[in-house]
Amino acid sequence: MIKFSELGLSPKVLKAVEAAGYDTPTPIQAGAIPPALDGRDVLGIAQTGTGKTASFTLPMITKLARGRARARMPRSLVLAPTRELAAQVAENFDTYAEGSKLTKALLIGGVSFKEQEQLIDRGVDVLIATPGRLLDHFERGKLLLTGVQIMVVDEADRMLDMGFIPDIERIFELTPFTRQTLFFSATMAPEIERITNKFLSNPEKIEVERQNSTSDTITQVLVKHTPKRRDMSAKDKRAILRAIIERDGDECRNGIIFCNRKVEVDIVAKSMKKHGLDAAPIHGDLDQSQRMRTLDGFRDGTLRFLVASDVAARGLDIPNVSHVFNFDVPSHSEDYVHRIGRTGRAGKTGIAYTIAVPSDEKYLDGIERLIGKPIPEGENPWTPPGRKSDTPAAEEEERVPRKSRSRSRSRKASEETSEAAPAEAEAPREEARRDESRRDEPRRERGGRGRGRGLDRGPKVVGLGDHVPGFIEMSFEERREAERA
């Protein structure tokens, strides 16, 4: 078995790795670090949770140990799709660069431009950024990328999902042609492959596992539910979520609950807190400081449940997550792999529940095609109130479709009415006919102001509706008068 000491890392980096509690590299680390140290481009394909961050931070720190950064000209650049992932890379850098004199700057949204500009002005060895904020600084004239020696693109497929590919291509063109590129992705979509062919030079390709595979350490469970009405789906799913948590008891130490929409994230978090479950939301519309506080609370165990949009599905290293809940089935199949990859990490076991309603069938089919196997179906622990009854009559009525019941009731009521009181049944119909004939009378006769200037409309004229408009009748009268004369 390969050890970190056999990969060619510097003594200071090895000491920092040992202090962090690591001895044996993961497959992606063992495959990517040696060619990266040799100065080659690297294309790493591995699912989330396999240690990709250390695959580029460790060789970067070793190679950048010599040299010095100049003002506004970083020596290396790391691009991440989200603020949280960029902040996590910065934390990893601090851990592994312990004892070195390397400097870094983190450029993400939600933080003052002025503070970031001050760091850039001093000169940094490692610049960690999201694409949008990086280009903002460049367009302000506060940053030059001509000194970049090593460029890293992390979670490239997530960049594609978020629409960052044009920004990535522009950033590539702003960096020197002689740079070294380390490119990491969980999947290889055609657009990602196009970029690697364009900007990477004869890369060393490391593919750890079959693309889009799920870890064997994760127990996957599909919980199906058919709501009584479609508009009750979300409410029912919240009840099912609470029932699963209650059933699993102490085994559910903590969990991440994924929703497709930000508004649903807030609703689910509020509902869980209302029912006594410690939960907090995290999504892109929240203030950055609040997002970081929520993540820190979940990491240190003071927060039990994290309700998240897919901003938290990629790359975040949150250890010891026992459960993942797909409150909404993801519309993109790849997101399922990344969501459930938050549990069962580093050899630990985990469980991932997916709550599905009939409208999710097409998404489930796509997910099962992607992972190459069906998701095992489990028991639904929640029963809607009033769904089952002990009385045979009620059970029989439950089996009869709603429309059939209403029709039979209407037919029965009609028969009883006709048999009991034919005269009373005829009276409303006679009254309806009188109302109809009253509506057909000219407005003048009902005391209204007619549009025919008081002319007698006469019999119905075929082809012009029930009555001829007054202005047309006037033209007919004038013509007849003229003929008589």
Tens-place pLDDT, residues 437-483: 444 444 444 444 444 444 444 555 555 555 666 666 665 566 666 56
DSSP annotation of 99? T
Q: How many CA atoms lie within 13 A of 471 on its CB side?
A: 1
- ∠ Cα 308 310 314 (to 5°): 110
For the cut 90, the answer to whether the pLDDT of residue 274 exceeds it is yes
Average confidence (pLDDT) over 245-271: 95
Reported as a pLDDT band with limits 50, 70 and 90, residue 160 is confident
CA 23 to chain CA centroid, nearest Å: 35
Mean pLDDT of the chain: 82
Is 165 in contact with 159 (CB distance < 8 Å)? Answer: yes
For the cut 80, the answer to whether the pLDDT of residue 210 exceeds it is no
Is 171 in contact with 107 (CB distance < 8 Å)? Answer: no
For the cut 90, the answer to whether the pLDDT of residue 221 exceeds it is yes
104 membership: H or E segment, kind and range = strand 104-107
For the cut 50, the answer to whether the pLDDT of residue 417 exceeds it is no
Distance CA 473, CA 162 (A): 68
For residue 108, the tally of other CB atoms under 10 A from its CB is 21
- Tell me if residue 166 falls in helix, strand or coil: helix
The pLDDT tens digits of the residues spanning 186-203 come to: 878 899 999 999 999 999
The pLDDT tens digits of the residues spanning 314-336 come to: 656 777 899 999 999 999 888 89
151 membership: H or E segment, kind and range = strand 150-153
For the cut 60, the answer to whether the pLDDT of residue 408 exceeds it is no
Is 145 in contact with 171 (CB distance < 8 Å)? Answer: yes
pLDDT at 466: 54
Q: Label residues 6-15 b or e (16+ Cβ within 10 Å = b).
A: ebebbebbbe
| Top mean-pLDDT range of 272-276, 308-312, 385-389 | 272-276
Distance CA 326, CA 421 (A): 59
For the cut 50, the answer to whether the pLDDT of residue 260 exceeds it is yes
Question: In the beta sheet, which residues pair with residue 252?
Answer: none
Sheet strand arrangement including 323-326:
218-224, 350-356, 323-326, 255-258, 305-308, 279-282
Average confidence (pLDDT) over 81-93: 90
pLDDT at 482: 58
For the cut 90, the answer to whether the pLDDT of residue 424 exceeds it is no
For the cut 90, the answer to whether the pLDDT of residue 150 exceeds it is yes
Which residue ranges form the domains of the chain, and what is each CATH number?
Answer: 4-207 (3.40.50.300), 218-371 (3.40.50.300), 442-485 (no CATH)
What does the DSSP assignment read for 407-471?
HHHHHHHHHHHHHH-HHHHHHHHHHHHHHHHHHHS-GGGGTS--TTTT----SPPTTS-SS--HH
Place of tokens 């076991």: 349
Write down the pTM of the prediction. Answer: 0.65
